[in-house]
């Protein structure tokens, strides 16, 4: 099941993959002339229509890129820093949480071969409301459906991801995972 991600999520995911491969701290340097290049072949022919189009197309791409960075910064997903006189961007805790949700969306969900259903039962206290709400939305991303308010079922093989989710939000005392043959009265 493929999910189409919004542009901001695609961009955050790309930054994460880049940092994951380099093993370095996540930072992306944005120079003032990022993406603006006029190819040398146009210099010889003067500013013909193609050269003008290419120049303005690159300028528009640069502006759109900066708008995307501004939107991510305004939403609190990244913050910009000055490192050795250049601007850099780093993920905030809110951005990391967003990446976690993107990762859940991208999981390739396959139905269980044993045709059983995973059932999650939880009773999370009110003082952990934020974690409870995040847990519910993450369950939806994993393919769970609400049977009752705190009983969710899933036909996909996402047991490992569900356990990681419980561990991430530190909900072990409040959550139980069951594996059931069928659901219903029949």
Helix (H) or strand (E) holding 20: helix 7-22
**Annotation: CATH topology of 109-180:** Alpha-Beta Plaits (3.30.70)
Start-end of CATH 3.30.70.240 domains in the chain: 109-180
Which pLDDT tens digits describe the chain residue by residue (186 residues)?
556 667 777 777 776 666 655 444 333 333 333 333 333 333 333 444 566 667 777 778 888 888 888 888 899 988 877 878 887 778 888 888 888 888 888 888 888 888 899 999 999 999 999 999 989 989 998 999 998 889 999 999 999 999 988 998 899 999 999 998 877 755
**Total-model pTM:** 0.60
Could you please report the per-residue DSSP string of 92-154?
-HHHHHHHHHHHHHH----B-TT--EEEEEE---GGGHHHHHHHHHHHHHHT-EEEETTEEEE
177: tokens are: 């995972």
Rounded Cα distance, 78 and 91, in Å: 4
- The bridge status of strand 28-29 relative to strand 151-154 is unpaired
- CA-to-CA dists, residue 135 to 98, 100, 103, 148, angstroms: 13, 12, 14, 15
């Amino acid at each position: 099941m493929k999910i189409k991600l919004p542009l901001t999520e695609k961009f955050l995911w790309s930054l994460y993959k880049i940092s994951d491969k380099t093993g370095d701290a996540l930072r992306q340097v944005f120079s003032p002339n990022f993406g603006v290049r006029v190819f040398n072949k146009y210099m010889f022919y003067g500013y013909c229509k193609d050269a003008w189009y290419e120049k303005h197309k690159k300028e528009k791409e640069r502006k759109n890129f900066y708008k995307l960075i501004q939107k991510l910064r305004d939403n609190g997903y990244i913050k910009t820093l000055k490192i050795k006189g250049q601007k850099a961007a780093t993920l905030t805790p809110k951005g990391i949480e967003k990446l976690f949700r993107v990762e859940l969306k991208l999981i390739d969900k396959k139905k269980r071969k044993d045709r059983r259903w995973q059932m999650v039962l939880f009773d999370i206290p009110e003082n952990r409301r934020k974690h409870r709400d995040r847990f519910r939305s993450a369950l939806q991303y994993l393919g769970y459906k609400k049977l009752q308010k705190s009983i969710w079922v899933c036909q996909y093989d996402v047991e490992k991801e569900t356990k990681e989710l419980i561990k991430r939000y530190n909900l072990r005392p409040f959550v139980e995972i069951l594996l059931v043959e069928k659901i219903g009265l029949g």
